[in-house]
Chain A
Amino acid sequence: GAVVSQHPSWVICKSGTSVKIECRSLDFQATTMFWYRQFPKQSLMLMATSNEGSKATYEQGVEKDKFLINHASLTLSTLTVTSAHPEDSSFYICSATRGAGELFFGEGSRLTVL
């Protein structure tokens, strides 16, 4: 199957700092990538849809100025959590599609904001 890699797998930061998470499709070109957030014992919630070369589309209730998404190439999308606060602590997961409805997920990035 296709491989999607996320980095870092976990990060701890102080409140008020910004954190960048990378999502790469290693063996295919991903025209679209998705960012999800998962709180403990909860389902994956879609945050935004990212298309290469264009602005991300954010789901209702997700602050676009806080969660900056960049999809500069067909194999890389980044999520930057700006001025992170403890309530932003969560498991962030990206997924990428190579078309035909197939979605492949990264390993996730655990963010802890102190």
Chain B
Amino acid sequence: EDQVTQSPEALRLQEGESSSLNCSYTVSGLRGLFWYRQDPGKGPEFLFTLYSAGEEKEKERLKATLTKKESFLHITAPKPEDSATYLCAVQGLNSNSGYALNFGKGTSLLVTP
């Protein structure tokens, strides 16, 4: 069974203080690993998809990396508007649900001025 574990559960940063969020996963065959941002009371907003170990993707202050066991979401010089819950999800090759995603519980990030 696919499993996704995110850490830390919550993270508080000062504005400008860079850090990384972790997503550890086990999956029978990885079709893709996804990162989403979710604001309170909203649906997830797509950030990145990573497909193979060694792949990296960047968007503004965010950079996602992937290994065979985990993914990191690096946040460089965060701003208060980066405060949100960041969700990691995997899509398995052998999923009975086709393209459905298996989500972690998320990391709640708070960036203070």
A77 at the interface (CB under 8 A from B): no
Are B42 and A108 in contact, CB atoms less than 8 angstroms apart?
Answer: yes
User: Chain B residues near A49 (CB, 8 Å)?
Assistant: 97-98, 100
A17 interface hit (Cβ, 8 Å): no
* Separation of A72 and B20 alpha carbons in the complex (Å): 43
> Quick check: A108 and B99 within 8 Å, CB to CB?
no
User: Shortest beta-carbon distance, B88 to chain A, in Å?
Assistant: 10
Known: A105-B36, A105-B43, A106-B43. A34 touches B97 (CB 8 A): yes
Chain B: interface size category: 20 to 34
By the criterion CB–CB under 8 Å, are B97 and A44 in contact? no
- Residues from chain B with Cβ under 8 Å of A106 in the complex: 43
B46/A1 in contact, CB under 8 A: yes
**A63 located at the interface, meaning its Cβ lies under 8 Å from any Cβ of chain B in the complex:** no
Residue among A57, A91, A93, A103 having the largest count of chain B Cβ atoms under 10 Å: A103
Q: Which of B44, B91, B98, B99 contacts A93 (CB 8 A)?
A: B44
Total interface residues on A, CB under 8 Å, equals: 26
By a beta-carbon cutoff of 8 Å, the part of chain B in contact with chain A is 31-32, 34, 36, 41-46, 49, 87, 89, 91, 96-106
Give 1 or 0 for each of A43-65: 1 = CB within 8 Å of chain B CB. 11110010000000101000000
A42 and B105 contacting across the interface, CB-CB below 8 Å: yes
Q: How far is the CA of A43 from the CA of B106 in the complex (A)?
A: 7
Task: For chain A, residues 3 to 62, give those with C-beta under 8 angstroms from any C-beta of chain B.
Answer: 4, 6, 32, 34, 42-46, 49, 57, 59
A32 — which chain B residues lie within 8 A by C-beta? 98-99
**Interfacial chain B residues near A78, Cβ < 8 Å:** none
**Chain A residues within 8 Å of B97, by CB:** 34, 46, 49, 57, 59
Chain B residues positioned under 8 Å from A34 (CB to CB): 97, 99-101
